[in-house]
Amino acid sequence: MVMVYLITILSFTIVLTTAIGPVYVPPLEIVSLLGNKLHLLENASIPQKYEVIILQIRLPRIFLGLLVGLSLATAGTTLQGLFKNPMADPYIIGIASGAAVGAVFSMLILPSFLFIYTRPFMAFLGAMFTTFLVYNIARVGRRIPVDTLLLTGIAISLFLGAVLSFMMFVAEDLHSIFFWLMGGFWLANWTQVKISILPVFFSFFLIYIFAKDLNAMLLGEESAQTLGINVENVKKILLVFAAFITAIAVSFVGTIGFVGLIIPHITRILVGPDHRILFPASALVGGIFLMWTDALARLLGEMPVGIITAFFGAPFFIYLLRERKGKK
Amino acid sequence: MPLEIKDVDTYYGSVKILDSINFNASHGELLGIIGPNGSGKTTLLRTISRILKPKVGAILLEGRDVLEMGYREFSRIFAAVPQDTTINFDFSALDIVLMGRNPHLGRLELESEKDIEIARRSMRLTNCWEFAERPITELSGGERQLVIIARALTQEPKVLLLDEPTSHLDINYQIEIMELLKRLTSEEKLIVIAVIHDLNLAARYCDRLVLLHDGKIVSLGTQAEVLTAENIKNTFGADVIVKKHALTNHCYVSPVPSPLKRQNKTEAGLTVHLICGGGEGASLMHELAKKGYKVSVGVVNMLDTDYEVAKLLNIPVVTEAPYSPISEEAFQAHLAVVDRANVVVLCNIPFGFGNLRNLEVAERALERNKPLLVFEATRIEKRDFTNGEATKRFIILKGKGAIRVKNQEEVFKAIGQL
């Protein structure tokens, strides 16, 4: 039921956010253009300028927003389930920073040995490396206490931030890196959508397969094991794919914080903790959220969208911290 | 034997926690694991539930090596209830129980009507179906425990392992859960192995007990074989009295205060003799010994509470056979002991024809100029079952200078003044 609502909202969002931008495009024109392209409508009388704006500028950007929102929300949901902790998110525990370092490294130094896949690949390496670093530092015996996880994540993020600053200091093309880092969709194009759509959906599906295992792991790892789950393996697979899906998002649009934190949390309040519903629901909510924040960014003179999500996210994070304190 | 634990050694790192553990359990048996903290109880349970891998040894179920089974297969046969059942995510109780079907379902397979029926049956069995729809986070500790046991049963296991299923619960839930385990063994023919902290609960419900100490099995068998004062002293380091419960005929363990130190207080040296029986002298014995007096006791029947307490406190005691009147022999021995005492206390005991001669001893003590304290909390007429004979002699005692006291404080005061 929730999914029906969300898909309806998603459809409206696609149309409405396409309308928003420096040039206003009437939603009706968008509907008729989309209908035309999908061979649902026949009366094609859309002004040429609208067609270019919609097809070449707005739509790739909106679909990339959807994919990135979906990726970050899925990564956040996975990490929160794995660490049994609603404060985990790819940005806070340093995975996104690792991906950023990998991506910047490839932009500055490496030749494009994998063509357009070089940057996503290096981002993935950076994300994986950071994930296992944080995981192993934060681990106490078999457990990963919340406080050490957050502290380790923040420490590693700070360190990686310094690495990024250093790379920018020695870089020649500072400007593009700087804007990329702040997180934004202004360079979105259909190529990015095309190369990310398959890996994103593939990762999403793979993570979704482990929905029931994650449910059981919320009851504690030992309980999960007595329910027939090979906990150590599931943990490794999920960490790899959470890092992978984060890396895809980061390599195209830079670091956009807090989406992976807020979205799963809000969605959990809406649909409950069952990952079989939580994964698709938070993926959709994440996509919708990022499409709207990007629309807002366009209205605010192409402000980096990372700034807007941080404006929402940081207070939310503080609210979560306070609430936890209240419970204790 | 369906479940065999064979020569199992388990290590944490390089530290050996379990040392050649060997025991069997059969279908329909409730086996309790007891032992002091740090003796390896939880480790043993975690080894059987394959959370920990034994370094040496084997665990066999109906001859099959359990350690060779796949994760899912294993969890269709073994179910475990952990010590900590706290859950921070607000699944409904039914959702939690349905997770017990995981080992039987594919990853993307939804629960069928049959799975829900199995979950419902488990929840009815554990008496928690009524809160199936409530969030697990809102249930009390006892209710949550029932839900977690229902989840384990939904796995349809042959072996159920529980780690202290009753700790932190009030007595009502303790009984409910232990009765449930008992039912599961007798009706469902499960093998149930539970770590139980409370020795009396273990004695009351378990068919057999395993007593662990320092990672080794110290004793294994029926409650009467395992729960002896000596075993408990050796493992827990606690002094206890083990009795048969009057109602259920199960072993009943009650603690006595830690071994008394014989302090060299100023009072030391005085010997106080108690004439008692029927438990009337027990607490006075203990208090006097604690204050550093030498104490002797007479004549009490064997198996009498006063007899047991005296034995426990290492107090010399003149005894008579159970339910027998005081014989001439015991009477003479009693006199000899009284002769060595500095003061005699006649406790607030009832008198029948069997122990009338104890009054005679009191009288002899007075005649030999021993101070005699007569403890009279209840009027003598009310505890005289000799048609007035005891009362008559009692009055004579008072006439000959016995000091009357009404409570323990007065006893200590009177003795202190000597």
How far, in whole angstroms, is CA B409 from its chain's centroid? 31
C-alpha A275/C-alpha A279 separation (Å) is: 5
In the 8-state DSSP scheme, what is residue B154?
Answer: H
Using the predicted structure, report yes or no on whether residue B267 has a pLDDT greater than 60: no
Q: Does B15 lie at the interface with A, CB-CB under 8 angstroms? A: no
The model's confidence at residue A109, banded by pLDDT at 50, 70 and 90, is confident
Residue-wise pLDDT tens digits, A23-61: 888 888 888 888 877 776 666 667 777 888 888 888 999
Using the predicted structure, report yes or no on whether residue A119 has a pLDDT greater than 90: no
Of A80, A108, A317, the closest CA to residue A217 belongs to A80
| Contacts of A257 by beta carbon, 8 Å cutoff, 6+ apart | A91, A92, A96, A183, A306, A309, A310, A313
C-alpha A154/C-alpha A138 separation (Å) is: 11
Of B247, B132, B238, B152, the closest CA to residue B194 belongs to B152
pLDDT at position B412 is 87
Task: Please classify residue B370 by burial: count the beta carbons closer than 10 Å to its beta carbon, then call 0-12 exposed, 13-18 middle and 19+ buried.
Answer: middle
Concatenated DSSP letters of B258-273: SPPP----TTTT-EEE
Specify whether the CB–CB gap between A297 and A68 falls below 8 A.
no
The CA dihedral of B225, B230, B234, B240, to the nearest 10 degrees, is 110
Specify whether the CB–CB gap between B310 and B300 falls below 8 A.
yes
C-alpha A268/C-alpha A76 separation (Å) is: 12
Per-residue tokens: A92: 């806070």
Give the A-side interface with B, CB within 8 Å.
84, 209-210, 212-213, 215-216, 218-220, 222-223, 225-230, 272-274
Q: Which of B78, B82, B103 sits opposite A223 (nearest CB)?
A: B82
Average pLDDT, chain B: 89
| Contacts of B313 by beta carbon, 8 Å cutoff, 6+ apart | B260, B285, B286, B289, B295
Element (H, E) at B184: helix B171-188
C-alpha B49/C-alpha B143 separation (Å) is: 24
Distance from CA of B51 to the nearest CA of A (A): 7
Of A60, A79, A168, the closest CA to residue A131 belongs to A79
Q: Does B11 lie at the interface with A, CB-CB under 8 angstroms? A: no
Average pLDDT, chain A: 86
Helices assigned H by DSSP within chain A: 2-19, 27-37, 48-52, 59-82, 95-108, 118-138, 146-170, 174-182, 190-209, 211-217, 221-226, 231-253, 259-271, 275-299, 305-327
High-pLDDT (> 90) share of chain A, %: 30
If you average pLDDT over each of A258-267, A274-283, B280-289, which comes out highest?
Answer: A274-283
Per-residue tokens: A100: 């950023």
Of B68, B28, B31, the closest CA to residue B50 belongs to B68
Task: Please classify residue B345 by burial: count the beta carbons closer than 10 Å to its beta carbon, then call 0-12 exposed, 13-18 middle and 19+ buried.
Answer: buried
C-alpha A195/C-alpha A34 separation (Å) is: 22
Using the predicted structure, report yes or no on whether residue B264 has a pLDDT greater than 60: no
Average of per-residue pLDDT across A74-94? 86
Q: What are the respective helix, strand and coil percentages of chain B, to the nearest 5?
A: 40, 25, 35
pLDDT at position A328 is 46
Q: A229 vs B78: CB contact, 8 Å cut-off?
A: no
Average of per-residue pLDDT across A257-271? 88
pLDDT at position A320 is 76
| Radius of gyration for chain A, computed over Cα atoms and rounded to the nearest angstrom | 20
pLDDT at position A114 is 65
pLDDT at position A42 is 66
Residue-wise pLDDT tens digits, A166-216: 888 887 777 778 777 877 887 788 888 998 999 999 999 999 999 999 999
Using the predicted structure, report yes or no on whether residue A115 has a pLDDT greater than 80: no
Query: Which residues on chain A are in Cβ contact (under 8 Å) with B46?
Result: 222
Q: Which of A209, A215, A229 sits opposite B108 (nearest CB)?
A: A209
Neighbours of B26 (CB within 10 A): 15
CA distances from B375 to B404, B412, B416 (A): 6, 11, 16
Q: Does B91 lie at the interface with A, CB-CB under 8 angstroms? A: yes
Phi, psi (5° rounding) for residue B327?
A: -85, 165
Mutate to test the interface with A, among B78, B85, B98, B102 (most CBs of A within 10 A): B102
Using the predicted structure, report yes or no on whether residue A143 has a pLDDT greater than 80: no
Using the predicted structure, report yes or no on whether residue A12 has a pLDDT greater than 50: yes
Cα–Cα–Cα angle for A40, A45, A47, rounded to 5 degrees: 125
Higher pLDDT, A328 or B377: B377
- Give the three-class secondary structure for B351: strand
Concatenated DSSP letters of A24-85: ---HHHHHHHHHHHTTS-------HHHHHIIIIIIHHHHHHHHHHHHHHHHHHHHHHHHTT-
C-alpha A130/C-alpha A66 separation (Å) is: 25
Q: Does B49 lie at the interface with A, CB-CB under 8 angstroms? A: yes
State the complex-level ipTM. 0.82
Concatenated DSSP letters of B97-136: HHGGGGGGS-TTPPP-HHHHHHHHHHHHHTT-GGGTTSBG
Specify whether the CB–CB gap between B293 and B415 falls below 8 A.
yes
Q: B102 vs A274: CB contact, 8 Å cut-off?
A: no
Using the predicted structure, report yes or no on whether residue B263 has a pLDDT greater than 80: no
pLDDT at position B58 is 92
Residue-wise pLDDT tens digits, B40-88: 999 999 999 998 889 999 999 998 999 999 999 999 999 999 988 888 8
Residue-wise pLDDT tens digits, A210-235: 999 999 998 888 889 999 998 888 98
Instruction: Beginning with the edge strand found earlier in the chain, give each strand of the sheet holding B294-301 in spatial order.
Output: B317-320, B294-301, B271-275, B343-346, B372-375, B403-405
Specify whether the CB–CB gap between B296 and B341 falls below 8 A.
yes
Higher pLDDT, A169 or A68: A68
C-alpha B177/C-alpha B160 separation (Å) is: 13
Q: Which of A213, A222, A228 sits opposite B74 (nearest CB)?
A: A228
Q: Does B313 lie at the interface with A, CB-CB under 8 angstroms? A: no
